[in-house]
Amino acid sequence: MVELGSTSLTIVGVIAAVAIAALLVAAVLRRQVLAAGEGTQSMRDIAQAVQEGASAYLNRQFRTLALFAVVVCALLFLLPGDAGIKVGRSIFFLVGAVFSASIGFLGMWLATRANLRVAAAASQENGRAEGARIAFRTGGVVGMSVVGLGLLGAAAVVLIYKGDAPSVLEGFGFGAALLAMFMRVGGGIFTKAADVGADLVGKVEQHIPEDDPRNAATIADNVGDNVGDCAGMAADLFESYAVTLVAALILGRAAFGEKGLVFPLLVTSIGALVAVIGVFTTRVRGQESGLAAINRGFYVAAVIGVVLAAVVAFVYLPDTFAAFTDGTAKLTEHAGDPRLIASAAVAIGVVLAGVILWVTGYFTGTTSKPTLHVAATTRTGAATVVLSGIGVGFESAVYTAGIIAAAICALFLIAGGSIALSLFLVALAGCGLLTTVGVIVAMDTFGPVSDNAQGIAEMSGDVTPEGAQILTDLDAVGNTTKAVTKGIAIATAVLAATALFGSYADAVSIALAKPGVHVGSDIVAAMTRYEVISPVTLVGVILGAAVVFLFSGLAIDAVTRAAGAIVFEVRRQFRDFPGIMTGEVRPEYGKVVDICTRDSLRELATPGLLAAFAPIAVGFGLGVGPLAGFLAGAIAAGVLMAVFLANSGGAWDNAKKIVEDGNFGGKGSAAHDAAVIGDTVGDPFKDTAGPAINPLIKVMNLVSVLIAPAVVAISVGSGANQPARLAIAIVAALIAFGAVVASRLRAARVDRDGVDEPEAAPALTH
């Protein structure tokens, strides 16, 4: 076991103090946001309804997930290992889950209070700059909280468990990732069911504006923005932060020994300062675009992060690998300078974030050729809009995956071909990318806050025409920043998953080296090998990719069913209460919120059980070699699928904005109807299935890391028990695919029984 000296423990203590300071900065920013004016009484009433709906949903979701978290915590005790480590892993699993839930709740709580403040600011003098400032600093609060809680949790584990910290941190990362996945899926289903239902009935069938108060789904749509984009993305980026640290510390211990446990914490602690700089330097100057100001803040923070990380590397690390005598990876023969290599790895991670930001902005921005092309296809109908958006998504996925692959290859070359060192450098690159996580979260939260602000302005009618245009512009910027942060989150997920892949190999190697483990030459022994040419390993690759497709399909299908229920309900209200269209009758907003809440929580179990139990079924059924192939297939398919879904959805969304700005006939035209159809197809792509793939691949990696010693022990250890191994695999497979079958049966029941909708859907004509 690697021991930590007094100097290292002192440094980790300072890092914990930095984490607390980050939380204090978040409190200061929160006070600044809440000090802004709240607008008219009508604005406050609408915002209050959104606040109540969002809080009610998350409270019900957390109650649902609490039982699940307790069950998983208990199951962690069944894994082999030291009793103290098992207790710590289980406790910090709950800590990670609570932190992830807290970040999500904070993002939702503040965003639902910042939205009316942005709406109110838009009509004031210098409204563009003030509205952008409030929206971005709202995200800054969440970003600083992500940094603070992530660092605090990791530093606490290292201080308590010292050299055993990576094993305990597996639980911390697993708790964060599992909760984030549930919040991503549940929030994504809620928000997109409401959004799709509101658009299809309101815009296409009734030809009323977006966020029109006569549409019963408008409150649910605004609630969904907060529980999906704010709460879900905040939890997602927090778990990326935690999981990347877990992988970095596991691999750092193997490569650099004691310093490998501390250096990743030092790099990520730089993110606290970088986040403060990024938030306070992001200011709209005059009439400049909000996107220009946000990009400037990001790039300034990124450059400062690279420089500070290099300074830390040259101060803390030795100048030769021969100094790392306590690492297990045997890097003493490496001729390079660890300070330069570590600095380069961090720089590659930060540059990767910047490149992904640019590429994603190119494929989804309102002024870029791909999105303008999608907008132009609205002239020929919904089918061509859908086809062009799919084409943009596929193409962008190739470029994004190629850029991430190039970054990983560069890290491999810098490592001189050393697998152990290159995997650690991948984790360091992830830590480098996450030095900008505070700004990334701020960029993401900017989107739903601006979107909600525009909705409040539309529903209240209390904003000047100039203020309405400002909010429209901010909303368009928010669409791009949401797409950009999804791209960066995907890159983070791939780096974290690749590093966890290395952590998995490390866990298997340690398990195979234990006394009593005997690898013979039979079928079971073949299951412990990693050769891709092995048919059984290739089966694992195929299954890993297949789970990504199945997970995505389940998420999109869940939105389809929930959105259908919303469409029927909104149509019913328009049909049964004619006074809604004349403004004499207030729609029953609460019924739509209830439907979204019910359906989204009902659909949570299936993808969660699939993610948790599919690796268990493969690992115990086929062995650690095929399980490695399973993870490789999931990572490869996951990155392509996530980028495709996110960028095609982003392009459709902004193509709709282009039409609504008066191009190709503007609002109410046939082109607008086609654009709305494209946007509604893209909604579950970019805000439900795509983002949920990020935590999915990390959850499956962490489950694999956790079960690897047990798989080895039961397969080729002294207590090998093949019938028990197969029984575990069968039970896990039945749970995973039983959940899928239950979801299919539920879908068939909805299709058969339908909803109270006696009349045919209105034609899509004027």
CA distance 321 to 323: 5
Which of 410, 438, 403 lies closest to 426, judged by CA? 410
In the three-class reduction of DSSP (H, G, I as helix; E, B as strand; rest coil), residue 260 is classed as: helix
DSSP state of 35: T
Q: Residues 632, 637, 642, CA angle at the centre, nearest 5°?
A: 130
Task: Output the pLDDT for position 522.
Answer: 61
Residues 391 and 514: beta-carbon distance below 8 Å: no
Contacts 24+ apart (CB under 8 A), 365-371: 365/291, 365/480, 365/654, 366/476, 366/479, 366/480, 366/654, 366/657, 366/658, 370/395, 370/396, 370/651, 371/651, 371/654, 371/655, 371/658
DSSP state of 322: G
CA distance 63 to 54: 14
In the three-class reduction of DSSP (H, G, I as helix; E, B as strand; rest coil), residue 463 is classed as: coil
What's the one-letter identity of residue 315? Answer: V
**Burial (CB count within 10 angstroms: exposed 0-12, middle 13-18, buried 19+), residue 719:** exposed
Span between the terminal Cα atoms of the chain, in Å: 73
Residues 658 and 366: beta-carbon distance below 8 Å: yes
Residues 306 and 432: beta-carbon distance below 8 Å: yes
Q: What are phi and psi of 3, to 5 degrees?
A: -95, 145
Q: What is the pLDDT of residues 246-280, one digit of tens each?
A: 888 888 877 777 888 888 999 988 888 888 888 88
Task: Output the pLDDT for position 1.
Answer: 52
In the three-class reduction of DSSP (H, G, I as helix; E, B as strand; rest coil), residue 194 is classed as: helix
Task: Output the pLDDT for position 399.
Answer: 92
Q: How many CB atoms lie within 10 A of CB 344?
A: 22
CA distance 647 to 687: 11
Tokens of 553: 């399909």
Q: How many CB atoms lie within 10 A of CB 586?
A: 12
CA distance 747 to 228: 23
CA distance 155 to 520: 42
In DSSP notation, 471-497 reads HHHHHHHHHHHHHHHHHHHHHHHHHHH
Residues 135 and 114: beta-carbon distance below 8 Å: yes
CA distance 497 to 504: 10
CA distance 528 to 712: 8
Residues 271 and 438: beta-carbon distance below 8 Å: yes
Q: Residues 638, 640, 646, CA angle at the centre, nearest 5°?
A: 95
Residues 716 and 679: beta-carbon distance below 8 Å: no
CA distance 667 to 679: 14
Residues 277 and 253: beta-carbon distance below 8 Å: no
Q: Which residues of the chain have pLDDT under 50?
A: 755-766
Q: How many CB atoms lie within 10 A of CB 532?
A: 12
Task: Output the pLDDT for position 63.
Answer: 82
Which of 308, 303, 411, 405 lies closest to 351, judged by CA? 303
Tokens of 181: 């996945």
Which of 459, 524, 726 lies closest to 618, judged by CA? 726
The helix or strand, by DSSP H or E, that contains position 672, with its residue range, turns out to be helix 670-684
